[in-house]
Structures are given as structure tokens and as C-alpha cells.
Structure 1
Amino acid sequence: MAVFVVAAFARPDQDPGYDYSAPSSPAKYNVNYAVRDDYSNNDFGHQEARDGYDTQGSYYVLLPDGRLQKVTYYVNGDSGFVAEVSYEGEAQYPAEQPSYKPTPSYA
């Protein structure tokens, strides 16, 4: 009986103070970043701005074939995610692809 009494007093009467409701003010931000590393040939970046439900942005990435891929997008209310993809440059492929040829090992 004493265990039930202790358990009843140990049980919290109130819910934790978490508020999962929608924020009182609409989201508003602007963020961007870029990375360029000539050693490893990395070049990419991203920019996005949001004001309430209106979101727009773009990102770019240097592809392994040498082209630059650019994506511009927007989201406005219920329109969903709308993107436009473009490429700059021409794909370049080396004449001879390096291949892996393991050396036999005899024990």
C-alpha cells in the first residue's frame, strides 16, 4: 500500500512546459555560404531567404565533369517547391580513364 501512495505523490500533476504550437511570428531569415577549395577542386555554395511562407534561394556545385550546376528555387505558400536547373560549361572527360590493376601477391 505504501508503494502506491509514494507513486501517487511522485506523479507530476502538470504537463512539462513544452510549447509545440506554431510560432507567434512568421519565420524571417537570410543565410548564405560558399566553399572553394582549389586543392580538391571543390566549389559549391548556397543562398536562401525566407519571409513568412515566401522562400527563395539558389545553390551551385562544380560537377566532376567540369560543369557548374546552378539551381534557383522558390516556395510561395501552397505552390510547392519550384526549381530551375541550369548548367554552365561543357562536360570534359579525360581521353584515358585510369584503371585499377592489383599486383598479384604470392605467399
Structure 2
Amino acid sequence: MFAKIASFALLVTASQAGLLSYQAAPIISHVAPVLHAPAHHDVDYYAHPKYEFNYGVKDGHTGDFKTQHEVRDGDVVKGSYTVADPDGTIRTVHYTADDHNGFNAIVERTGHPVHPVHSAPVYLAHH
């Protein structure tokens, strides 16, 4: 039954997007195999979500510097990310999210901002 509903939804979407024509018919046959969804018993919609990950980039050539760390246990998410800002400071955001408090973030900056010094233009008088 799911395959029939999904096939119908695909046909409606394709017709609204203007994809259905005599030339486009072969495209639909190539998309059809994607519609095979796992059997309902293979999906546990009530599983307790739990994960932890870390990510980081430190590229001295481009100056790209960033990190991220996040932990989730059920509906509670905690993490932080760090980004090098253009002024030379490091921005670190610590965040939490849960059903009771929603999303909260604390932003801190470390380092000293460096701003380019522009000198005033010099004009020479012509005699």
C-alpha cells in the first residue's frame, strides 16, 4: 500500500513540476526504484536517540578554523562550536536544547580583534 501511495505522490509532484510529458516518461521509470521503503517492522520510531560526534578543520593556508562537538541523549542536546572570525578573534558558542528549556546558547569571544589601519590619502598640489 505504501508503494502505491508513494508512486501516486511522485506522479502528482512530477505533473505539478511540469516533468510529465512524452519525453519525460522514461525519467519516471528511473526514479521508481528509489520508492522502495523499508518494511514498517524495520523502523523503530520510538528508539531512544543517542549519539556523540566531533568535527574540526584547521587549515593554515586558508585560515579556516572551526570545531564542533555535540552529544544527544534522548531529547537533550548539548554541544559547542568554535569559529575563527575575520577580526582574528575566536568565537565559541556553547548550546543546549531540551523539551523544558528550548534552545539556549552562550557566545564567548577570545583573543584581541585586529582591525586594519587605513592611512588618509595624500593629495599633492600641482602648481
Length-normalised TM-score, structure 2: 0.59
Structure number with the bigger relative contact order (C-alpha 8 A, sep ≥ 6) is 1
Deviation at 1:22, TM superposition (A): 7.2
Over 6 Å off, 4+ runs: none
1:39 equivalenced with 2:61 (yes/no): yes
Paired residue secondary structure (2:100): helix
Deviation string, structure 1 residues 18-64 (Cα, Å, up to 9, x no partner): 65x97221210001111000111111011100010011000000000
1:72 corresponding residue in structure 2: 94
- Which blocks of at least 5 consecutive residues in structure 2 are unaligned? 4-36, 120-127
CA RMSD of aligned residues (A): 2.0
Alignment of 1:1-107 (within 5 A): 14-16=1-3, 23-96=45-118
Q: Percent identity?
A: 30
Distance 1:96 1:43 in 2: 27
Length-normalised TM-score, structure 1: 0.69
Structure with a larger share of its residues in strand: 1
- Residues 1:81 and 1:22: Cα distance change in structure 2 (over 3 Å): farther
Distance 1:15 1:91 in 2: 57
Structure with a larger share of its residues in helix: 2
**How many aligned positions are there?**
83
